[in-house]
Structure 1
Amino acid sequence: MIHGDEADVAAELEQRYRELALARLRAAPSEEPDEDANGNRFCLDCGESIPADRVTAVHAVRCVTCATRRERLARQRAPG
């Protein structure tokens, strides 16, 4: 059980949801990254270099632009 005032409870819940979301992303089957011999990673869609911070944070295989485009298309195609 979470204790504290409403702001503390909200912050704790937000942190838990964020950690769960990141865990799901890390556990999900991923596509094989396109990396060079130095460990630099490149977007599977456009071939642009992916910043190391993004790779570390979300194990990215796509640049922000291409990932955003794919997410937008997936939302448009989703039933609902």
Structure 2
Amino acid sequence: MIHGDMADVAAEYEQRERDLALARRRAAPMEEPDEDSNGNWYCLDCGEIIPKARVSAVMAVRCVDCAGRREKMQRVHGAVGKPTLEDTE
């Protein structure tokens, strides 16, 4: 049980969430980006080019749309695979 005022409790919960997210990220197998000889990186799910700014900022291996769908699936289903048509509707 966390004791203290509401701000202390909220800060503690926020820190725990951050720690859990980092632990999950470390435990997940690293995915290798799909890169061509011209330095373009491609989304592992849909094959679209990922903007270089996104790749350098977050080492993205998925485009924004596919990453969003994947995160939604993880929140809703706890799944990690490619989204199916039913998952995206």
The answer to whether TM tops 0.5 is yes
Residues 41 and 49 in structure 1, CA contact (< 8 A), matched pair in contact too: yes
For residue 53 of structure 1, the aligned residue among 57, 71, 74 is: 57
CA offsets per residue over residues 3-41 of structure 1, 9 Å max, x none?
A: 542212211211221221122123211332213568764
Q: When the two structures are superposed, what TM-score results if normalisation uses the length of structure 1? A: 0.59
Task: Name the count of aligned residue pairs.
Answer: 73
Higher-RCO chain (CA-CA 8 Å, sequence separation at least 6): 1
1:49, distance to aligned residue in structure 2 (A): 1.6
Q: When the two structures are superposed, what TM-score results if normalisation uses the length of structure 2? A: 0.55
Identical aligned residues as a percent: 62
Could you tell me how far apart the structure 1 residues matched to 2:35 and 2:11 are? 37
1:63 is aligned to 63
Residues 46 and 66 in structure 1, CA contact (< 8 A), matched pair in contact too: no
1:62, distance to aligned residue in structure 2 (A): 0.6
RMSD: 3.2
Residues 33 and 61 in structure 2, CA contact (< 8 A), matched pair in contact too: yes
Over 3 Å counting, the alpha-carbon distance change for 1:38 and 1:21 in structure 2 is: farther
Over 3 Å counting, the alpha-carbon distance change for 1:68 and 1:2 in structure 2 is: same
